[in-house]
Structure 1
Amino acid sequence: MDIGRSRGWRSSETLCRRLGGVCRRSGGGGLGVDSLNGQRCLVTGAGGFIGQVLVRKLLAAGAIVHAPGRTELDLDVESSIRRTVRGFAPEKVFHLAAKGVTGASSLEALRETNVHGTRRLIAELNLLRHSPTVTLLGSGFEYAAKETPLKEEDALSPFSDYGISKLEAAAAAREVASGLSVTWVRLFNVYGPGESLGRLLPHIVSQSRQGLPVEVTAGEQLRDFTHVDDVAEGIMRLAARPTASPGWEVFNLGTGTATRLHAFMSLVVAALASHGVVSDLRLGARPYRSGEPMVYLPDVSRLQKAVGWLPAKPLDKGVSDVVSQAILP
């Protein structure tokens, strides 16, 4: 493993030596993340949608980042976790590795990575001589459905296998994290460049560019859409704040703004039209999914109070940027 300094910043230090090295970019971060400068940060799931952005931002903040790939860090194997954790000795840990966001895995497969893998990682971190602060990603899918914005203390009753696995992961982590300061961050609707093709925005872009119809629901669902850049920023701000050790805190991460799904889709269609791409968006062509909540929104007052910040990227600008990046060479 080498510690490198970038010249002109080449693609997040080529995504931390292609997810296998320890990287550092000289320079400090922005307001709210200055304490991460020089910190040894372990990021699991660094090659994922959110992980790639987080690595880039951590390096820009001056952190020393270790982004192990799956061949180095296998969450199913205790010895692999032990080598990584003890070899790097992180001061901050960002555990993003997970399965099942797109709903393609069975509950048992989700449990193996999301629950048991998380338990193994936290248990090993708890054995270090020092106590790293840990940030874990949860999901709004952990909550029971509610017609008003969800607060961190609201009832938990997942309506999806992914939500079940995340709820169980939180319980497993809390059980073995007795000596650690842990922050559990519940995410909601995250969008941005790099989303998997099965998700709504890239699906609309892909279908439209091929001249195919886009069959969707009527789009009356209320959602809170947060750009991935803001999500990574929020995760870093929560990790950078002073915390009690040991301790366990839960935060929702979102903008605090509700948007109808059809309005979000209209923004995508308008952005495509600005590039000469016509969309055949067929609202109501598909029924709502069984059990899907019509209202799925976070209350973000706890986040705002803790870090004095909320995501700020306007939705229309964020969508336009994502579409432009997908279309322009």
Structure 2
Amino acid sequence: MAGIQAPTFEPNDDPSAATYEWMATIHNACFPDWPVTADDVRHERESRDPSKFIERYLVRVQGEVVGYAETGHLQMSHREGKYFLHTQIHPDHEEATLATLTFLMGRLQQRGYDHLISYTRTDKSHRIEALERLGFACLQKNPDVRLDLEPFDPSLWTESLTRVAALGYRLVTLEELGDSEDVWRAYYDLDWELMQDVPYTDSFTKRPFEVWVDQIKTPQFDPSLFHFALRGDEWVGMTECYWSGADHVIAGTGLTGVRRPHRRVGVATALKVKALCDLKRRGAKLIRSDNEESNPMLDLNYRLGFRSTGAWLHYELKVE
């Protein structure tokens, strides 16, 4: 379109506080409902598995930094030839999205690729249009659901807690379990087992233990927000929660799951209820989650009062 200035790109390898500040500012302009801090950006970069390829670029329009872009191996589902594309372009310059994605694909041609992954949200029309123009197809949809904790009434859910207690399950936090390597190893094993039942378009890759622990321990990491169900010495299930931003008003949920022999007796519900009650008590106002459309955890969230506000979209391009 006439009048639109073509973006330019340069490596974004400066690990300075100023870099992380402007990256957080760009992110928060794009997703004001899911804020991050400069420290969050720093941690995400520093905790990445160093054995996995990545290239990072800043995006300029007429000399002004308007966003950043990254491409590399997908840590959660890795193989050679498969890469992710990630762009974060300020809303005032979204027209640069197509050129930025095209630039990243050009960079990958030097390595050779047969499978590309990219994510966006239903309210990001420029990115959706750009991906589809490049031949990407949406292969998975995860409704973005949110719960207003103000009207959430814990008293309506106490029975779910007493029921699992009567069955011999004990609900504890990571803080209560302690910070020993044995605890973290048990958590690691449980996480990997539960991930096998998470709906996804490809198989998952098991991250090295040390990398996984480092990535869990974000700047907003709070072990009292990670809840586990134990029966005797067996780790049965879990639900993870974490803060968004520094003000501890918005929280998100991570993996929730229960080992197969212990399903359908209310353990997952009890874990979620305990987590929501704790967050409400600590002053959280809004909880966010997302699950693939067929995931039973999405139905559980709806029963707890979560409401859909759009969806995260998983796009792929496969080269035969």
* TM-score by shorter chain over 0.5: no
State TM-score, norm by structure 2.
0.27
The structure richer in strand per residue is: 2
State TM-score, norm by structure 1.
0.26
The structure whose RCO (Cα within 8 Å, separation 6+) is larger is 2
Name the larger-Rg structure: 2
